[in-house]
Chains A and B, each alone.
Chain A
């Protein structure tokens, strides 16, 4: 956990459903598709194109996220770094094969819960995720390990 990052002001009112709202994930029925969301940049043909910081600000503290790519392949690494810079807290990450992304979010103290399959850097880098391991051993993360 980086106390220094905690002090950064979190943009308010900039996310899809208004700033500071609690994540409503828990109460949603599993069968409901296509929850409407305002696009990040308002209306118009290019409204969805936004800077990295604005896109990362859509994700609220406590949100449940999944992050694309497999191991070190095609991961949205710049986005993950921006979440850490913005000091996001209490996220739940579900990902079958996390690596750098999970380790960095663990190191930065962004996570509360993790659902993962195989969690590893590739063998060229020693395999293990040192900061994820440290966070789990310190009891900072609730972890569910799946296939």
Chain B
């Protein structure tokens, strides 16, 4: 999360509290810098700047402006950190409809490269206000993915 935030701000790394006396700095290649005011060493996380942020939203217009209902999670940060955004949306709505409530627009079209109309596109996960977690769908995936053949037929049968 911190790495995405650093990328969203255009800085090469960001300091994080904690990590002392754990193995995480070694496994994640975290390094320290010196606080220029106090001289204390602090761990920093490198910026994570993906080429693509792929986000599923409830509503988007054809230009790539989007509304997210319920918790946005890290999606807004991801949209700012990545070079380009790909949206899948429960509904594609007219721009005029979004313009009636501009404060609800969370993703701006500027860096959006593609918009896909994908009702049910978060299944077997949930989509706030549209459907809940499909528990049978999760179990079906887990069963299928035990073998390569199972996964292959799962991918062929679940859009």
Chain A residues packing against B (C-beta within 8 Å):
1-5, 16, 23, 25, 28, 30-35, 37-41, 45-46, 48-52, 54-55, 58-59, 63-81, 84-85, 92, 94-97, 99-100, 103-104, 107-108, 115, 117, 121-122, 124-125, 130-131, 143-147
Contact = CB atoms under 8 A, between A and B. Distances in A.
16 contacts: A1-B148, A25-B50, A40-B114, A48-B112, A49-B117, A50-B115, A50-B116, A66-B78, A70-B74, A73-B71, A73-B73, A74-B125, A79-B56, A96-B1, A146-B45, A147-B24
Contacts of B109: 48
A78 to B, nearest CB: 4
Interface stretch (B9-17, B34-42, B97-105): B9-17
Given A34-B110, A81-B158, A125-B138, A49 B92 contact: yes
Interface in B57-88: 57, 62-64, 68, 70-71, 73-75, 78, 81-84, 86, 88
Contact of B114 (A39, A71, A97, A130): A39
A125 B82 CA distance: 31
A46 to B, nearest CB: 4
Given A73-B133, A146-B28, 18 more contacts: A2-B148, A5-B155, A16-B84, A30-B47, A34-B111, A35-B84, A38-B113, A55-B114, A59-B54, A66-B82, A69-B55, A74-B73, A76-B86, A96-B74, A115-B3, A130-B146, A146-B24, A147-B45
Contacts of B11: 30-31
Of A46, A78, A84, A122, which is in contact with the most chain B CB atoms at under 10 Å from its CB?
A78
B113 A48 contact: yes
Contact of B27 (A54, A92, A144): A144
A79 B28 CA distance: 28
A84 B150 CA distance: 13
Interface residues of B, number: 80
B32 interface: no
B73 A69 contact: yes
Given A30-B47, A35-B84, A131-B145, A70 B28 contact: no
A75 B125 CA distance: 7
Given A2-B148, A30-B7, A77-B123, A58 B113 contact: yes
Interface in B106-147: 109-118, 120-128, 133, 135, 138-139, 141-142, 145-146
